[in-house]
Structure 1
Amino acid sequence: MNVMAQQPAGALETADNTLSPQASHAIWGAAVGFFVDNYDIFLPVIALAPAMVYFIPADVPPGIAAVASAMIFATTLIGRPLGAFIFGHFADTIGRKRTTIISVMGFGVVTLLIAVLPGYETLGPAVIWIFIGLRLIDGIFLGGEYTSANPLAMEYCPKDKRGLFGAVIQSAAPLGTAGISLVTLAVLLLFPAKGPGSPYVEWGWRIPFFVGSIMAFALAYYYQNSVEESEIWRKSDKTAHASSPIKMLFTGENLKSFLQVFVVMTGFWLLLNASLAVMPGLLAVQMKVGSVETTSALVIAYLALSVVYVLGGVVSQLIGRRTYLLVASVCTATLGTLCYYLLLNTVPGDLTRIMILTTLTTVLVVAPGALGTVYINERFRTTVRASGFGLGYSLAIILPAFYVFYQTWLAYFMPFKYTVLVLVVVGAVLIFVGAALGPETKDVDFGSAAAEKT
């Protein structure tokens, strides 16, 4: 069975067993990339939401407004697997570093274009389609970023530290969500959003977009000047690079690895949507929590999740990736579901209890995601690793993205507020089954000749 690959001796660690500068730079770059990625993804949901009237005025029919708002966010998610497909090919054929720089520069430019975009009064209905188009392109470049940056970082990680540093990279994702929440909150406190014509609606919303663009350009500069191409990729079989990585990915043992990863990641994305996507509405609507308190509760939960991710990576290095996923998914299905049930039945107004349960629910439900980066990279050989990671990570988001429709269907058989609990259990079961079907990966050697020929 194809599991994975070998480190070139001396390329990753110094004589005193510390990370080499090349490894540190690659890991740091991937972590910052995931931070900026999640910051950018939630810009329309968090930063633009209070100012959406700037692009979709109140006189637009409610149905059209709802579809347009949803499309602005959804097209970014749709763009991610497209980006993984496009840039995964280039990361596997022309190199991880070059592809990362192109991708990061791409979404930096697109985010900047959105930041200076005129509103509905200037461009009329066309501005909505322009915004949707820009977010689609943005998603493509975002998908390319982690598809190339994360394999590069993992190929620089020593085998006995991959769990830790893979989780550190993964932990930057919730930190990015917390980051955009904090930036938006700060801007809203300085420039309130009080309807059309207010400072935030007219121009304040642009500040978080400018911040995202600046971070992207800084990251591209960092990769250009501080990160070196993966030595494992440079030493891999160049004749294999001449083939189509996508074609290779969907044949033989690579296909089996992909399907198994797809099951695990479908479960992860279902858990993520059941927790992070549902939580803001739950707190604001059902729990009657104010916007500032809601943002504060979510930021605390995201910060706690990032810590748990790192701990999860360390634990997986001790007990194995497969065992961690099996145990974590059981905890999610039991303890996570219990905490979510208690949260759903908490009396509105009990802010302390709500914040504690929000944090516990988020941590317990999403904890299996700690291994998203390291586990998927360990399941593919060097010549298809970027394509396998990018598509394995991104394509699995499609089915879970329709979680609202699943909730609506389940509501025919049970109270709507409890439908999210079913999604949590289903997501945990998928991770458990997917992990059970796959091998243990923590001891695989990236780039070994044997693995590359399987």
Structure 2
Amino acid sequence: MSDSPERSAGRSAPLTKIIMVSSAGSAIEWFDFFIYGTAAALVFNKLFFPQADPLVGTLLAFTTFAIGFLARPLGGVVFGHFGDRVGRKPALVTALLIMGGSTTLIGLLPTYDTIGAAAPVLLVVLRLLQGVAVGGQWGGAVLIATENAPEGRRGLYGSFAQLGVPTGLMLSSLVFLVTTSKLDAQQFASWGWRVPFLCSIVLIVIALFAQFTLEETADSRESRHDEEGSGASRSPVVEVLRKHPKNVLLAAGAVITIGSGFYLFVTYMLSYGTEVLGMPKSTVLNAVLVGAALQVPALMAFGALSDRIGRRKVYLAGAIGMGLWAYPAFVLMNTKQWPLVTLALVGGQLFFAAMYGPQAAFFSELFTARVRYSGASLGYQLGVMLGGALTPIIATWLYARFGSFVPVAAFLVASAAVSSVCVLVLSETNRRVPAVEATSQADRDVQPAAS
């Protein structure tokens, strides 16, 4: 089945506008999400859990970090329903506004010394809102990009939305690098850590820009029109779980190593480098910054490559590479030499890019337009919750328990193995037209891929 000329023409939208909304909005949203992880590794254990010993305080800080992941599937469900029933644009704009507001409020939050136990409670509530928002934003940004893509370029266009991760990571690392280098420890703990959170008000401006300039995608308009005429299910989430359970579960499994690998190489390695190895914060932050900068062209390159040779091949290479890189990365980190530390983190982030670049197109092509926001969001957010939420906690506990990085590396290898198997079972999708109609090929459960 192929698109009609009218639909193909109607799907196109100005490239600059797609990049602005899907990339810039996603970048600031992920900036908001990442600054929390960086702050959890550097100061939250002291500011919000001062009564605990250092190890327990770090674990508690990472627990609040994990709570954001636990809320992401909820965001995927809520905004998936909203995005499939009402439209991609209103769902995306609402998610951006929630993230901008909750992150700004974290920057204004009193610490434990000021309001006692209420401080960590409020921190948890705002982190939950962050999780719900980022759980809803990803699907909107991805579909704005892929549903506007010309035929044969969905991988490249989908990578524009994925650029928000390294860009947000660069911004968060850069802001913390500047504040930690310009302020002494007392100033940073007193007020410097708040600066990145207060910068998040910019996200509200981007949300307003999207609201007034962005048009709904043709696929979304047509799928909602078809649904109104057919009297179809009013719950896209229920429908996608009923019709596509394998797609959702395999997509979640494929994402596990994205979550575990990324947050091990970014969040945990920051704590490992500073707390375990005693390196200056700036050394590790600079290494993270270099890796994030290289991710930007890598994501686009891997997305474009998936348009040529297939999503599965590129994604699978990244998953296997992530597992193989786990042990060497720690060996390089343990040298404490900046070039080798940078190589360790850059390698991990490039293997991540090989998976994350084609992922937007890969997942959107697994579902028809009427349930695409729900299906893609739910699969992605479940996988990231399983792979990312507990990674810093598990890694911290494993090192404390065994006094060695080897079990931590083994944990990443295991997650990479799970994702690799799931990708092998999923069918190739890059030749598939992501149809609006419910009777298309994407509506059928995935079949084991042919060799």
Bin of the TM-score, shorter chain as denominator length: 0.7 to 0.9
TM-superposed CA distance for 1:422, in Å, is 1.9
Question: Residue 273 of structure 1 corresponds to which residue in structure 2?
Answer: 263
2: CA distance, partners of 1:127 / 1:5: 54
Question: Residue 61 of structure 2 corresponds to which residue in structure 1?
Answer: 69
1: CA distance, partners of 2:194 / 2:232: 42
Residue 244 of structure 1 aligns with an amino acid whose one-letter code is S
2: CA distance, partners of 1:63 / 1:144: 33
TM-superposed CA distance for 1:383, in Å, is 0.9
Secondary structure of the structure 2 residue equivalent to 1:442: coil
Matched, 1:246 2:240: no
Structure 1 residues 170, 112: closer, same or farther in 2, change over 3 A? same
Contact 2:320 2:416 in 1 (8 A): yes
Contact 2:298 2:350 in 1 (8 A): yes
Structure 1 residues 360, 412: closer, same or farther in 2, change over 3 A? closer
2: CA distance, partners of 1:184 / 1:43: 8
Q: Which moved more, 1:400-409 or 1:83-92?
A: 400-409
Q: Which moved more, 1:220-229 or 1:406-415?
A: 406-415
2: CA distance, partners of 1:332 / 1:203: 37
Question: Residue 129 of structure 2 corresponds to which residue in structure 1?
Answer: 137
Q: Which has the higher contact order (CA 8 A, sep 6+)?
A: 1
Matched, 1:31 2:23: yes
Question: Residue 294 of structure 1 corresponds to which residue in structure 2?
Answer: 284
Between the aligned residues of both structures, percent identity stands at 24
1: CA distance, partners of 2:262 / 2:313: 20
Secondary structure of the structure 1 residue equivalent to 2:129: helix
TM-superposed CA distance for 1:303, in Å, is 1.3
Equivalent residue runs for 1:130-279 within 5 Å: 130-194=122-186, 198=187, 200-212=188-200, 214-236=201-223, 237-239=226-228, 242-252=233-243, 254-279=244-269
Question: Residue 449 of structure 2 corresponds to which residue in structure 1?
Answer: none
Question: Residue 310 of structure 2 corresponds to which residue in structure 1?
Answer: 320
TM-superposed CA distance for 1:31, in Å, is 1.5
Residue 10 of structure 1 aligns with an amino acid whose one-letter code is A
1: CA distance, partners of 2:287 / 2:124: 30
Gap regions ≥5 residues in structure 2 = 445-451
Contact 1:329 1:368 in 2 (8 A): yes
TM-superposed CA distance for 1:86, in Å, is 0.9
Contact 1:6 1:445 in 2 (8 A): no
Residue 150 of structure 2 aligns with an amino acid whose one-letter code is P
Contact 1:322 1:440 in 2 (8 A): yes
TM-score by length of 2: 0.87
TM-superposed CA distance for 1:182, in Å, is 0.4
Question: Residue 8 of structure 2 corresponds to which residue in structure 1?
Answer: 9
TM-superposed CA distance for 1:241, in Å, is 6.2
2: CA distance, partners of 1:281 / 1:54: 14
TM-score by length of 1: 0.86
TM-superposed CA distance for 1:134, in Å, is 1.5
Secondary structure of the structure 2 residue equivalent to 1:360: helix
Contact 2:364 2:434 in 1 (8 A): no
Residue 95 of structure 2 aligns with an amino acid whose one-letter code is S
Matched, 1:46 2:56: no
Question: Residue 448 of structure 2 corresponds to which residue in structure 1?
Answer: none
Question: Residue 17 of structure 1 corresponds to which residue in structure 2?
Answer: none
Structure 1 residues 248, 108: closer, same or farther in 2, change over 3 A? same
Question: Residue 441 of structure 1 corresponds to which residue in structure 2?
Answer: 429
1: CA distance, partners of 2:403 / 2:159: 36
Residue 440 of structure 1 aligns with an amino acid whose one-letter code is E
Contact 1:114 1:134 in 2 (8 A): yes
Residue 267 of structure 2 aligns with an amino acid whose one-letter code is A
Q: Which moved more, 1:434-443 or 1:378-387?
A: 434-443
Residue 240 of structure 2 aligns with an amino acid whose one-letter code is L
Contact 2:93 2:211 in 1 (8 A): yes
2: CA distance, partners of 1:297 / 1:445: 40
Structure 1 residues 407, 37: closer, same or farther in 2, change over 3 A? same
Question: Residue 56 of structure 1 corresponds to which residue in structure 2?
Answer: 48
Show CA shifts across 1:9-63 (max 9, x none). 21244xxxxxx32x54234312123212221112223246554377436455657
TM-superposed CA distance for 1:342, in Å, is 3.9
TM-superposed CA distance for 1:109, in Å, is 1.7
Structure 1 residues 119, 413: closer, same or farther in 2, change over 3 A? closer
Structure 1 residues 406, 320: closer, same or farther in 2, change over 3 A? same
1: CA distance, partners of 2:101 / 2:62: 23
Question: Residue 386 of structure 2 corresponds to which residue in structure 1?
Answer: 399
TM-superposed CA distance for 1:98, in Å, is 0.9
2: CA distance, partners of 1:139 / 1:266: 17
Contact 2:252 2:384 in 1 (8 A): no
Q: Which moved more, 1:60-69 or 1:388-397?
A: 60-69
Alignment coverage as a number of residue pairs: 436
TM-superposed CA distance for 1:256, in Å, is 2.0
Question: Residue 88 of structure 2 corresponds to which residue in structure 1?
Answer: 96
Residue 382 of structure 2 aligns with an amino acid whose one-letter code is L
Structure 1 residues 370, 427: closer, same or farther in 2, change over 3 A? farther
Show CA shifts across 1:106-161 (max 9, x none). 12222222222223343222121111112112221221222323222211111211
TM-superposed CA distance for 1:218, in Å, is 1.4
Contact 2:41 2:270 in 1 (8 A): no
Contact 2:68 2:128 in 1 (8 A): yes
TM-superposed CA distance for 1:304, in Å, is 1.5
Residue 206 of structure 1 aligns with an amino acid whose one-letter code is R
Question: Residue 373 of structure 1 corresponds to which residue in structure 2?
Answer: 360
TM-superposed CA distance for 1:357, in Å, is 3.2
Question: Residue 411 of structure 2 corresponds to which residue in structure 1?
Answer: 423
Residue 326 of structure 1 aligns with an amino acid whose one-letter code is L
Residue 75 of structure 2 aligns with an amino acid whose one-letter code is G
2: CA distance, partners of 1:361 / 1:24: 30
Structure 1 residues 343, 395: closer, same or farther in 2, change over 3 A? same
Structure 1 residues 30, 241: closer, same or farther in 2, change over 3 A? farther
Contact 2:99 2:130 in 1 (8 A): yes
TM-superposed CA distance for 1:369, in Å, is 2.4
2: CA distance, partners of 1:420 / 1:99: 38
Contact 2:59 2:393 in 1 (8 A): no
Aligned CA RMSD, in angstroms, stands at 2.9
Gap regions ≥5 residues in structure 1 = 14-19
Residue 282 of structure 1 aligns with an amino acid whose one-letter code is Y
Residue 146 of structure 1 aligns with an amino acid whose one-letter code is W
